[in-house]
Amino acid sequence: MERNTKQRQEIIETLKACYDHPTIKELYDLIKKNHKNIGQATIYRTINNLVKEDVIRRVECPDGIHYDYRKDHYHFYCLKCSKITDVFLDNKIIDNLLLSSNLNNIKHVNLVFEGICDSCKGKSSYEIK
Protein backbone atom coordinates (compact mmCIF):
# COMPACT_ATOMS: atom_id res chain seq x y z
CA MET A 1 0.00 0.00 0.00
CA GLU A 2 1.27 3.43 -0.94
CA ARG A 3 1.81 5.91 1.85
CA ASN A 4 -0.76 8.63 2.24
CA THR A 5 1.05 11.63 0.75
CA LYS A 6 -0.46 15.09 0.24
CA GLN A 7 -0.59 14.41 -3.51
CA ARG A 8 -2.36 11.08 -3.01
CA GLN A 9 -4.90 12.67 -0.67
CA GLU A 10 -5.49 15.53 -3.13
CA ILE A 11 -6.17 13.03 -5.94
CA ILE A 12 -8.63 11.11 -3.77
CA GLU A 13 -10.40 14.28 -2.60
CA THR A 14 -10.64 15.59 -6.17
CA LEU A 15 -12.18 12.31 -7.35
CA LYS A 16 -14.60 12.31 -4.40
CA ALA A 17 -15.82 15.75 -5.51
CA CYS A 18 -16.21 14.69 -9.17
CA TYR A 19 -19.41 13.14 -10.39
CA ASP A 20 -18.59 13.31 -14.09
CA HIS A 21 -16.07 10.43 -14.23
CA PRO A 22 -12.94 12.30 -15.37
CA THR A 23 -10.21 10.87 -17.56
CA ILE A 24 -6.70 10.96 -16.15
CA LYS A 25 -5.96 14.05 -18.28
CA GLU A 26 -9.07 15.83 -16.95
CA LEU A 27 -8.11 14.85 -13.42
CA TYR A 28 -4.58 16.17 -13.95
CA ASP A 29 -5.98 19.50 -15.22
CA LEU A 30 -8.29 19.79 -12.18
CA ILE A 31 -5.52 19.08 -9.68
CA LYS A 32 -2.96 21.26 -11.45
CA LYS A 33 -5.20 24.34 -10.95
CA ASN A 34 -4.61 24.28 -7.18
CA HIS A 35 -1.33 22.39 -6.97
CA LYS A 36 1.12 23.78 -9.51
CA ASN A 37 4.00 21.61 -8.26
CA ILE A 38 2.37 18.21 -8.75
CA GLY A 39 3.78 16.32 -11.69
CA GLN A 40 1.89 14.39 -14.33
CA ALA A 41 3.90 11.24 -13.58
CA THR A 42 2.90 11.45 -9.90
CA ILE A 43 -0.77 11.60 -10.82
CA TYR A 44 -0.53 8.71 -13.31
CA ARG A 45 1.42 6.53 -10.86
CA THR A 46 -0.91 7.35 -7.96
CA ILE A 47 -4.07 6.71 -10.01
CA ASN A 48 -2.75 3.30 -11.07
CA ASN A 49 -1.91 2.45 -7.45
CA LEU A 50 -5.34 3.57 -6.25
CA VAL A 51 -6.97 1.29 -8.83
CA LYS A 52 -4.77 -1.65 -7.77
CA GLU A 53 -5.66 -1.01 -4.12
CA ASP A 54 -9.37 -0.87 -5.03
CA VAL A 55 -9.73 2.67 -3.67
CA ILE A 56 -11.06 3.94 -7.01
CA ARG A 57 -12.57 2.29 -10.11
CA ARG A 58 -11.42 2.39 -13.68
CA VAL A 59 -14.39 2.79 -16.05
CA GLU A 60 -13.56 1.67 -19.57
CA CYS A 61 -15.63 3.46 -22.23
CA PRO A 62 -15.40 3.76 -26.02
CA ASP A 63 -13.71 7.18 -25.70
CA GLY A 64 -11.10 6.03 -23.17
CA ILE A 65 -10.64 5.26 -19.52
CA HIS A 66 -12.43 7.29 -16.86
CA TYR A 67 -12.15 7.11 -13.06
CA ASP A 68 -14.72 6.99 -10.30
CA TYR A 69 -14.37 7.10 -6.52
CA ARG A 70 -17.79 5.60 -5.88
CA LYS A 71 -18.11 1.84 -6.31
CA ASP A 72 -21.72 1.02 -5.51
CA HIS A 73 -23.09 1.40 -9.03
CA TYR A 74 -22.61 0.76 -12.74
CA HIS A 75 -22.48 3.14 -15.71
CA PHE A 76 -24.31 4.22 -18.86
CA TYR A 77 -22.22 5.74 -21.65
CA CYS A 78 -23.91 7.87 -24.32
CA LEU A 79 -22.49 7.00 -27.73
CA LYS A 80 -23.39 10.45 -29.01
CA CYS A 81 -22.33 12.98 -26.35
CA SER A 82 -19.93 10.73 -24.36
CA LYS A 83 -21.66 11.55 -21.06
CA ILE A 84 -21.34 8.90 -18.37
CA THR A 85 -24.29 8.45 -16.03
CA ASP A 86 -24.44 6.38 -12.86
CA VAL A 87 -26.77 3.36 -12.97
CA PHE A 88 -27.97 1.78 -9.75
CA LEU A 89 -29.11 -1.82 -9.98
CA ASP A 90 -30.35 -4.26 -7.42
CA ASN A 91 -27.17 -6.21 -6.66
CA LYS A 92 -29.23 -9.40 -6.37
CA ILE A 93 -29.47 -9.39 -10.17
CA ILE A 94 -25.67 -9.39 -10.52
CA ASP A 95 -25.23 -11.89 -7.68
CA ASN A 96 -27.72 -14.30 -9.27
CA LEU A 97 -26.01 -13.98 -12.64
CA LEU A 98 -22.64 -14.77 -11.12
CA LEU A 99 -24.01 -17.67 -9.08
CA SER A 100 -25.77 -19.18 -12.09
CA SER A 101 -22.49 -18.97 -14.01
CA ASN A 102 -20.58 -20.66 -11.20
CA LEU A 103 -18.29 -17.64 -10.90
CA ASN A 104 -17.56 -17.20 -7.22
CA ASN A 105 -14.17 -15.47 -7.16
CA ILE A 106 -15.24 -12.18 -8.74
CA LYS A 107 -13.61 -9.15 -7.05
CA HIS A 108 -15.78 -6.53 -8.75
CA VAL A 109 -17.94 -6.03 -11.83
CA ASN A 110 -17.28 -3.21 -14.30
CA LEU A 111 -20.55 -2.97 -16.18
CA VAL A 112 -21.01 -0.17 -18.75
CA PHE A 113 -24.22 0.09 -20.73
CA GLU A 114 -23.84 1.87 -24.08
CA GLY A 115 -26.58 3.69 -25.96
CA ILE A 116 -28.08 7.10 -26.60
CA CYS A 117 -29.07 9.22 -23.59
CA ASP A 118 -32.46 10.93 -23.32
CA SER A 119 -30.91 14.34 -24.06
CA CYS A 120 -29.43 13.14 -27.35
CA LYS A 121 -32.34 10.90 -28.36
CA GLY A 122 -34.50 13.82 -29.52
CA LYS A 123 -31.78 15.61 -31.48
CA SER A 124 -32.14 15.48 -35.27
CA SER A 125 -28.51 14.68 -36.08
CA TYR A 126 -28.05 11.08 -34.99
CA GLU A 127 -24.34 10.69 -35.59
CA ILE A 128 -22.67 8.32 -33.19
CA LYS A 129 -19.06 9.03 -32.23
pLDDT digits (tens, 9 = 90+) for 6-24: 889 999 999 999 999 999 9
pLDDT at 77: 97
Q: Which CATH number does 6-121 carry?
A: 1.10.10.10
pLDDT at 53: 94
pLDDT at 1: 52
Strand order in the sheet with 84-87: 84-87, 74-78, 112-115
Domain boundaries, the chain: 6-121
pLDDT at 107: 73
Alpha helices per DSSP H over the chain? 6-17, 24-34, 40-52, 91-100, 118-121
- Report the interhelical angle of 6-17 vs 40-52 (nearest 10°): 70
- Report the interhelical angle of 6-17 vs 24-34 (nearest 10°): 110
Nearest to 73 by CA among 65, 84, 62, 64: 84
Contacts of 86 (CB under 8 A, 6+ apart): 19, 70, 73, 74, 75, 76
What's the sign of the alpha-carbon dihedral 31, 35, 40, 46?
A: negative
Q: Please state, in angstroms and rounded to a whole number, the distance separating the CA atoms of residues 86 and 68.
A: 10
Flag residues of the chain having pLDDT under 70. 1-3, 102-104, 123-129
Q: Please state, in angstroms and rounded to a whole number, the distance separating the CA atoms of residues 52 and 35.
A: 24
